[in-house]
Structure 1
């Protein structure tokens, strides 16, 4: 059986037009006739999305309207855990592919709508977009070759009413612009010590992940980002782990991956001792009042008489 498959593949390769490349992938493109989805290269070849995010984005785009695409549903479908799937959904949301909108239903309750945009940015340019449900194409009925009497033309069906809140607007068929890239973190002061340590961490990445081979220009450009991490008291080992864990295989642009992780994974500054100290309890202070009878000062929450005048008044009443 394996020999038959090999011979068939050899014959197909021999029939491909033009010379075959010496290395790299060779595409055998057979047109699809059913069960296919058109995916833009801006998603399939995204330079800043992880492979998990790209795969989940393609999977969501292939699903029909109304399918469940939450973390629980995707975890039950794929082998990745909830943390990786949640991180991939956050990546898609950060780059405009996935959106979550809160809408009010007819019964007054609030609901979350998950929307997947196959061209991020196109919705903002057009204002609104038509959601096209995926339905199988209709099969035309056969008609007799020679009808005895020409049938009357059927009345044209009236179009379905469109809700006023979602009028159809055609999205212009042009490539959506990429969202602006977030700036690289910068330290408050790039001291010589920070620069030297940051350069050493970046140059040493290839000893821990052979895919991350950075040029001298890349290291010089990324030094401020690593220095910002060091300034926030992140240990070099933690920085190295954040930059080398779960890399795509193989990474197409190592410097872009390092820049992206330095930007989106930047931890907050450590809180000071004052922020971590428990709030001190304020002592209870009872205000001073002037006695309505002798004008002597005494402490009480309400105005009235001092203790001596209260005793005199009580004795006189007795």
Structure 2
């Protein structure tokens, strides 16, 4: 049987102007008359943005003003997770497409606004801030041009009337941003807009009635504790520690260490052995409850040698029973024969007051 051909595709390819490329993509371009968004190639073909960041940038640019474009809103719309979407938004923010300033509302609340720039380079040169194209809006700012018919060779081509200039959309005022003054129009000269003043951070009030500050996005990383070292690393102690580390793979298949890792971990094992820790105790501390799978065995052993290091064994004098404080003995009163505590014989307190004796 002959191979079946797609008639519609063949007709569409026949209408493509010019010769078809021998390889690669073939564009079948049909002009849009509505429900479209203008996206610059600087975003669609960005050399440093990831494909996820480019897709999210195009999606945000196609949404109407006021749409929710937070991480949770985008994660509910697309199959990508929140971590991947947050990374893509940071890429757009680093390259100037996305800006998230903090604004103070009339009621005193501090919120984060999201501003998307369709041309971040133009904003940096002092261009007017224009909001994204509203998806599905009326095609007033964009004039749809009809394809020009190709004249027959026998007829003289009539001059095509010049198209009317496109109307420039009015700048959309973003809440919280300073309004941009309109430049004066001089006949014969191109007006140069004034640069936009940079957003200054909003100072928060201090004192007991100050609003709660937002937590930092990234917690400060704690410095890594150094590996313990013995007081004196003798050759015998080094040999014992090296042999112990090389023998760990017999007890746990995951703990296969390189020679470099063994040399690095020798001081930590020597510090345990110096503190009279038995090899069985040390082996149980290093091989118990290993994670599955174990990607970095040397890092795990370094952490356990540092975090689980026992204190030195106490000496014989440290374990001796503490001496008790001296106890005052009991005495019998010579007058009333009651017992009282004193270092010498005599009368009790009541009898001393009766007989007028000094304490």
Q: Would you say same fold, with TM above 0.5?
A: no
Based on CA coordinates, which of the two structures has the bigger radius of gyration? 2
TM-score bin (small chain): 0.3 to 0.5
> Larger RCO: Structure 1 or Structure 2 (Cα < 8 Å, ≥ 6 residues apart)?
1
Q: Which has the higher helix share?
A: 1
TM-score w.r.t. structure 1 length? 0.43
